[in-house]
Amino acid sequence: MIIPGFINIKFVQDDGYLTPSMQLYESSLNQAMQGALSDNGWTVPALPTTQINTASGSVPNGLAVNGINQTGMPVGTIWFNTTLGKLQVKTSLLPAPTGTIETLGSTVGGDEFLIT
């Protein structure tokens, strides 16, 4: 979910109502949250494999974690891979350049959840 950045502006008018700028900010924030959260739960980003590999391997800020260059999506990021039709999660920064991306699934007819 992309949340609009905080802006340092006057929040309310003298009559106590939100300023037009704050109304626009709140509207943008609500739209972002409604796009990611629904009556059915949290909606994870849906991306094809090519975009996942590109985003996971990019280095937006060169941040180092435990001496390892933090790349693109951080460990713990989850998304729906539209190419595979499966949920995936980034579990490690290594191997470079994309880190470890694991596919989540379930056993046929079972209740167990497994990582492949």
Domain boundaries, given as residue ranges, for the chain: 1-43, 46-115
Residues 6+ apart with CB under 8 A from 2: 32
Can you give the pLDDT of all 116 residues of the chain as single tens digits?
567 777 788 999 999 999 999 999 899 888 888 776 767 777 788 888 888 877 776 544 445 545 555 557 788 888 889 999 999 998 887 777 778 888 887 655 555 555 55
Which has the closest alpha carbon to 73: 90, 86, 49?
90
Q: Structure pTM?
A: 0.54
